[in-house]
Structure 1
Amino acid sequence: MFKSTVIALSLALALNACTKAPDNNTSNAVAAAPAATAQAQAPWWQDAVVYQIWPRSFYDTNADGIGDFKGIQAKLPYLQDLGINAIWLTPMFEAPSYHGYDFTEFYEVEQDYGSMADFEALVQDANSKNIKVILDLVINHISSEHDWFKRSAAGETPYKDYFIWRDELPQDGWGPAWNKEVKPEAVWHWNEQRKAYYYAAFGASQPDLNLTHPDVVAEMKKAAKFWLDKGVAGFRLDAVRYAIENGPGQQADTQQTIDYWVDFTQYVKSVNPEAYLVAEAWVDIPVAARYWGEGKGLDAGFDFDFGYKVLELLNAGAQNAEFGTMAQHKRAGNSLQNNFEDRKASGAPFEFFSPFLTNHDQPRLAWQLGRDFNKAKLAAAMLFASPGTTYIYYGEEIALTQASDKEHMHRRSPMFWDGSNQAGFTTADKVWVQSDQLFPPQGDTSWWAPFLAEQLKGATTVAAQQQDPKSVWSLYKFLIAQKKRPEFGIAGEYRAELLADGKLLKLSRTLGPQQSVILLNLSAETQAIPAELVPQGLHISWQEDETPELGAYQLQIWQS
């Protein structure tokens, strides 16, 4: 058992999750703020759990094989039972693509998902259940089929300058915004009508808006207000790094871009001071911190580094920053502790960073972990032990996987609810990923049926896992509940320690007398639990089986 002196030493060394970045002389043992004070000052999202939904793949209620607003609404009791505080809906505005990141309208919902009345009913019902709704708002670019672009191509005033045009293909070093490749044809695209090139970082069908044009700036604010007035709680802002590009070497994170988001944030806060803005800045922590804007910018940014560190600990291999730039340099010491220290030293408040494992732009966690349910549990424990607003990608709570990574839609395929037709996602004969004509061009669609059949042989559905008290789903529900404990909040101290030659990972969260200790076996061999690591005065709140050892990739949790 832990001796009292060991506990005291552990508490003394624990790191405090400060709300402001400490100076270089600040001790790692800063006393945590009283929980009551921290809670009184905290915005609603600070220690929240947010569940990311790909609407097309969540739940279908009208038997067309496509998820819809009514489907999300029908599953609100499920989400409420799971314990989440908010849902983030990936793009649900009218768009020509399956993914929706190329709006043709800012004020109309995607007709595949239902009507505006359906969406409004979803928001109202969610709010009545204390579940906030966050929308994916894409401001960097829109669809080439949008009326603004058509008018711009025609040279109409004022639309002709709503986008960025050049008469000749630039030859001065332009390339993709997220790497150093010199390839101007990757970002500059010919328009036959205007006889000119337009800038589109994400492909010809998604031209970048000119966010230095006052009319465009005003239009983006108008769109934000429209949805805030409908009761949404805020926005996940796509591709924030690329808002205003100023040429080769200045295509990401420019000062004009930071200033743009400060201005946008100040407007949104004038409409609703409680509105939440989270940045998709796929970049290392020090650069992502700039979007805080010295307290006038965005409320939060995703901590991409955290997920990379978790996958590294679980031997998932190198991670690919497909739409970002991550250094991914190896450092001495515990990678999770390094991540924690980097967040503290970033220049932004610690709570600015929101940890997550994967999202819709990355291969699914379970697929990267070789469909190992135990490893998925370890990843979940690491996620929820980390302070901040926690994000879950739909299906991670059941270790939902994918057939392959040939196309991005494999990362975004339907949810597995039960063992019935199409895993309970729809009563239709086919789901949207089986349509060869729906969103051409795309690859072979024959992968879905054998993938589904194979997956349904195991406990891969919500219904199956809800019956198992030790399933991935059951652990997620347990961990979400722990976020309500004071030591799991921003004010709680955090420490990650690698033990037994890196085979064991100990995560500690402490706030005053409240303590939680998570011990994870990172190896494929059974590990004895050293007697001195068993916390004195704490009880086991989670264990895989009642043995004095940790099996391969198992965990135990002790709490006060």
Structure 2
Amino acid sequence: MKPIIAALFAVLACLPAASAQAQGTGTPARAWWSSSVCYHVFVRSFYDSDGDGIGDLNGLVQKLDYINDGNAQTRQDLGANCIWLMPVAESPSYHGYDVVDYYRVERDYGTADDFKRLMAEAHRRGIRVLVDLVLNHTSSEHPWFKHAAADPASPWRDWFLWTPTNPGVKGPWGQEVWYRSPSSDEQYFAVFWSGMPDLNFANPQVRAFTRDAARFWLREMGVDGFRLDAVAHFVEAGTQMKHAPGTFPVLRELASAVREISPNAFTIGEVWDSTGAMLPYYPDQLDSYFAFEGADAMLEAVRTGSARALFPAFMRLQREVPGHRWAPFLRNHDQTRTMTELGGDFAKARLAATF
């Protein structure tokens, strides 16, 4: 099977072979994801099976052989043995990161049966499937938020964060984070934008919901794990809206629940920051995290032809990250595509893919 050359979307989760368990996680060190190459799929733009102009789950099924045909002797596929799906739950937006129903497949993509067929066909080819689980926030169109905004006595009220007046505090990148309620002069917290109100992880009911959502996708839908969006922002502490101390016990609790539900499930988190900032998320929370600093160093080396920054970046990851549980990648859906960054140079793109 030929090596993956479409690694602009690839993630390789790395684990050491030396120990019986990944340090502190209770997870076998040579779990399936320790040698997997994962292809990043935005279903909406991947393949349209019914001519409505929108990529869908049946289209992805039709093109699974492009990713991996399940035959190690062929050389027409990419050779990836895992796919990471951007959000597939019901959402009013094209990207799906503002969820209105965590237990329903996005209708533009198909049905629950279509999703289960995808799982069966992927597994038949030896492909594991991760889904993007968006727990930091919901959509402002979610019934929970609508009820909470309309009624201060709503049972969903404490699922979100409220203040009587705007405190005038800015977010981690200087953005607005407090927005006027659609029903009153009160303000609600949303670290990304007004259409994505943050959930309140100090509320035990919210944490129970996250475990139930994980259970649904693992047991009912059969997925093999999760990419967890924006985990650095799960908990706020005053003006600290990233890496707050309360984040780590929340992730530890969620990861433990996932392992109890499905011991072989893989969890990978988005902590968009330096290697040093990533270290507090180890050793006993999620299985792995994307190595953004390593990704930048890889592309810089390919772009400039100099590995001056590459070696120190990788040595730091190898030296400091417990169990070497970091996930190398090049670029994701929030960033400029690799080929664009490299000016359309196929030779450089192939070189980048070798990482």
TM over 0.5, shorter chain = yes
1:247 and 1:316, CA in 2 relative to 1: closer, same or farther beyond 3 A?
Answer: farther
Q: Offset of 1:216 from its aligned partner?
A: 0.9
Distance of 1:167 and 1:83 partners within structure 2 = 54
> Paired residue for 1:362, among 328, 335, 353?
335
Q: Offset of 1:347 from its aligned partner?
A: 4.3
In the other structure, the counterpart of 2:143 is 147
One-letter amino acid of the structure 1 residue matched with residue 351 of structure 2: L
Q: Deviations over 1:80-103 (max 9, x none)?
A: 132111100001111001000000
1:201 and 1:33, CA in 2 relative to 1: closer, same or farther beyond 3 A?
Answer: closer
Does residue 212 of the first structure (1) align with residue 202 of the second (2)?
yes
Q: Offset of 1:157 from its aligned partner?
A: 3.1
Equivalent residues of 1:279, 1:298 under 8 A apart: yes
- Residues 31-430 of structure 1 correspond to what in structure 2 (within 5 A)? 41-80=29-68, 81-154=77-150, 155-171=152-168, 174-177=169-172, 179=173, 181=174, 186-229=176-219, 230-248=221-239, 250-292=240-282, 294=283, 296-315=284-303, 334-350=308-324, 352-381=325-354, 383=355
Equivalent residues of 1:290, 1:348 under 8 A apart: no
Equivalent residues of 1:61, 1:68 under 8 A apart: yes
Q: Offset of 1:246 from its aligned partner?
A: 1.1
Q: Secondary structure at the match of 1:51?
A: strand
One-letter amino acid of the structure 1 residue matched with residue 94 of structure 2: Y
One-letter amino acid of the structure 2 residue matched with residue 366 of structure 1: M
Distance of 2:41 and 2:256 partners within structure 1 = 27
Distance of 2:58 and 2:229 partners within structure 1 = 25
Q: Offset of 1:211 from its aligned partner?
A: 0.9
Q: Secondary structure at the match of 1:111?
A: coil
Q: Deviations over 1:409-439 (max 9, x none)?
A: xxxxxxxxxxxxxxxxxxxxxxxxxxxxxxx
In the other structure, the counterpart of 2:72 is none
Q: Offset of 1:111 from its aligned partner?
A: 0.6
Q: Offset of 1:50 from its aligned partner?
A: 0.4
Q: Deviations over 1:463-514 (max 9, x none)?
A: xxxxxxxxxxxxxxxxxxxxxxxxxxxxxxxxxxxxxxxxxxxxxxxxxxxx
Distance of 2:340 and 2:245 partners within structure 1 = 38
Q: Secondary structure at the match of 1:227?
A: helix
Q: Offset of 1:346 from its aligned partner?
A: 2.1
Q: Deviations over 1:503-530 (max 9, x none)?
A: xxxxxxxxxxxxxxxxxxxxxxxxxxxx
One-letter amino acid of the structure 2 residue matched with residue 371 of structure 1: G
Q: Deviations over 1:172-212 (max 9, x none)?
A: xx2123x3x3x6xx100001413300000110000000011
Q: Secondary structure at the match of 1:140?
A: coil
Q: Secondary structure at the match of 1:212?
A: coil
One-letter amino acid of the structure 1 residue matched with residue 118 of structure 2: L
Distance of 2:252 and 2:29 partners within structure 1 = 22
One-letter amino acid of the structure 2 residue matched with residue 78 of structure 1: Y
Distance of 1:333 and 1:361 partners within structure 2 = 25
In the other structure, the counterpart of 1:481 is none
Q: Offset of 1:290 from its aligned partner?
A: 1.9
Q: Secondary structure at the match of 1:106?
A: strand
Which 5+ residue runs of structure 2 have no aligned equivalent?
1-13, 20-27, 69-76
Equivalent residues of 2:232, 2:247 under 8 A apart: yes
TM-score when normalising by structure 1: 0.56
Distance of 1:18 and 1:65 partners within structure 2 = 40
Q: Secondary structure at the match of 2:32?
A: coil
Provide the alpha-carbon RMSD of the alignment: 2.0
Equivalent residues of 1:316, 1:369 under 8 A apart: no
Q: Offset of 1:41 from its aligned partner?
A: 4.6
Distance of 2:337 and 2:232 partners within structure 1 = 24
Q: Deviations over 1:19-61 (max 9, x none)?
A: 4xxxxxxxxxxxx959xxxxx8501101110000000011110
1:33 and 1:211, CA in 2 relative to 1: closer, same or farther beyond 3 A?
Answer: closer
For these two proteins, the number of residue pairs brought into alignment is 324
Q: Which has the larger radius of gyration?
A: 1
1:316 and 1:164, CA in 2 relative to 1: closer, same or farther beyond 3 A?
Answer: farther
Distance of 2:299 and 2:210 partners within structure 1 = 36
Distance of 1:347 and 1:65 partners within structure 2 = 43
Distance of 1:234 and 1:56 partners within structure 2 = 21
Q: Secondary structure at the match of 1:125?
A: helix
Distance of 2:61 and 2:304 partners within structure 1 = 35
